[in-house]
Structure formats: C-alpha cells, structure tokens
Amino acid sequence: MKYILTKLKHLLLAIIVYTYILFETIIWDLIAEPIYTKIKSLNYIKNFMLWIEFKANEYIVLFIFIFSFALAEGMGLYSVKLMGEGKVSLSVLIYLSKIPFAVLSFGVLNKGKEKLNSFYVFNVIYTPIIKIIDFLKSTYIYKKALLKIKEIKEKLVKIKENLGEKRNKLKSLIKTLYMKNKGKFYEK
C-alpha cells in the first residue's frame, strides 16, 4: 500500500511539474514573454511602475494588483472554457488579450511587493504559493524535464539553421538557373 501511495505521489508531482513547465516554457517563452517585453518597454508603463514603487498608496497598489490579476485570470479561465467548447480562434484571442492585464499585475507585484507585503492576507496567500513554486523547481523531475526541453530546443535550432541553409542554396540555384535561361524563354 505504501508503495502504491508513493507511486501516486510521484505521478501527481510529475503531472503538476509538467503542467507548470508547459505553461512556463511554451506559453510564456513563445507567446507571452515577447509581448510582455514590448509592453514593459513602453515609457508610460515605465512611468506607471515608478509611480507604483515610489508614490502610490499601498491600498491603491493592492486594488490595482487585485483588479488586474483577477481580470487576467478570469480571461484565462474563460479562454480555457472556450477551448473546451471548440472555439479555438476566440479562445486564443481572449488568451492573448489577457496578456496586458497580466503584465500590469506582474509589474505591480514586482514594483509594489513591499507595499503589498504590508497586508497580512497578502502574505498568507503569496508566501505559500512561492514556496510551492520553489519546491516544484527543486524537484528532480523538474530539473530533468528542463534538461530535456533544452535538448529539444537545441535540436530545433539546428534543424531550423539547416533548413535556412538549404532554403538559401535552393534560392541561389533557382536564381542562377533563371539568370542563365531567362533569355531563352523570351526569344522569338
């Protein structure tokens, strides 16, 4: 019985870790991070984050964080619902639309963490979540999966480079053939 419980615990841990990695590497790295980086670099966002960090009242920071976080997560859940209903395009559109709100909540969390930590309830919720994420990242399964993903990414980069080289060679060949034979097609 103890053996079965241990195996079930490892299976559950593996599912949680792989789900986390899926969201972290695929959704964040490929889709959200480029958008996040672009939005974060806008001057008015930079100024807003400076205001959050140095001038805003802690209650305003809490309100902005909760509002933007709830809106982003609500949109994320709604996009999952739409995906389940088979409305893939609308689901992706809603999911991508949530990114600016997620950027806002992430930025407010980073820049206003000291102010947010002044609320006991925030600490009670935030601290265990960070501990769970740290625990997941410390597991053997997580580390092994990240190594595997890194290997896959490296192979994909090599494949992409090889395809690019072959495409350039094919373009050059077509161009050369065209240049050699272009007069033959138009001769009368």
State pLDDT tens for residues 135-166. Answer: 888 888 888 888 888 888 888 788 877 777 76
Stretch 7-35: mean pLDDT = 74
Q: What percent of the chain has pLDDT over 70?
A: 90
Tens of pLDDT along 57-113?
Answer: 999 999 999 999 999 989 988 988 888 888 888 988 898 888 889 888 888 998 999
Can you tell me the distance from the alpha carbon of 23 to that of 79, in angstroms, rounded to the nearest whole number? 14
Q: What percent of the chain has pLDDT over 90?
A: 19
pLDDT greater at residue 22 or residue 14:
14
Most confident of 10-14, 18-22, 61-65, 120-124: 61-65
- What is the rounded average pLDDT for all residues in the chain? 83
DSSP 187: -
pTM > 0.85: yes or no: no
One-letter identity of residue 102: A
Closest CA to 95 of 40, 167, 32: 32
Instruction: Using alpha carbons only, give the angle 89, 94, 98 rounded to the nearest 5 degrees.
Output: 145
Output the pLDDT for position 186: 57
CA distances from 170 to 113, 173, 174 (A): 54, 5, 6
